[in-house]
Copies of this chain bind each other. A is one copy, B any other.
């Protein structure tokens, strides 16, 4: 049974983890028989967004507590995650990856990354354990890996994000929502998911392919 760690970044695409991407990753991991543990950093969100209006509110929410909604309370602080205990890592997207796990949403290639998130990704990368990266997560992966050789990934076709990936020394490949890109040298599989406002059925196809690829090489 493959042991897979999943990192969430809140609960809601505008200020946290993309909910559907997170659930679909958990679904396909479970269907494939993986043993999954879920983690999130015990930090405040960058901000809280009213998902009806799209505007920020004055509330404050904690990334670990909000991620626990998706995890059905079975979640651990990210600082407890170590690659040595797992066979693979899966990273759903959402603005939480670019606002809470990093500030990529504001600084692009010059982003800072939450220290435990950078540490964990680096551990899996250096141990040659596979990483599945969904939506905007591949771009933050490129930021983390810029001093370590980078990788080949996709975030779909968004030109600005693709340029940031290239500026970090990684390679970007354009890819349809229902497909995925695999970098065999670095064991990194990625798909764009809700980087495009596509149907959930198409988003699910890309995520299922990423999960299967990750498990096949774990």
By a beta-carbon cutoff of 8 Å, the part of chain A in contact with chain B is 11-14, 16, 19-20, 23-24, 26-27, 30-31, 50-52, 54, 59, 62, 64-66, 68-73, 75, 194, 199-201, 204
Contacts and interface: CB of A to CB of B under 8 A. Distances in A.
A91 B75 CA distance: 27
Highest count of chain B CB atoms <10 Å: which of A30, A65, A200: A200
A166 to B, nearest CB: 28
B19 A70 contact: yes
A66 to B, nearest CB: 8
Contact of A75 (B52, B68, B72): B52
Nearest to A10: B69
Nearest to A197: B72
B31 A23 contact: no
Task: Report, nearest first, the 3 A-B pairs whose CB atoms are least far apart.
Answer: A12-B69, A51-B68, A23-B23
Contacts of A51: 65-66, 68-69, 71-73
Highest count of chain B CB atoms <10 Å: which of A52, A64, A70, A204: A52
Contact of A26 (B20, B52, B59, B73): B20
A4 to B, nearest CB: 13
A30 B19 CA distance: 16
A73 B18 CA distance: 12
B20 A20 contact: no
B200 A69 contact: no
Given A19-B69, A19-B70, A51-B73, 19 more contacts: A13-B69, A14-B69, A14-B73, A16-B69, A19-B23, A20-B23, A20-B27, A26-B200, A27-B200, A31-B201, A50-B65, A50-B68, A51-B69, A51-B71, A51-B72, A52-B65, A52-B68, A52-B75, A72-B194
26 contacts: A11-B11, A11-B12, A12-B69, A14-B69, A19-B23, A19-B69, A19-B70, A20-B72, A23-B200, A24-B27, A27-B200, A27-B201, A27-B204, A30-B199, A30-B200, A31-B201, A31-B204, A50-B65, A51-B68, A51-B72, A52-B64, A52-B65, A52-B68, A54-B73, A59-B59, A72-B194
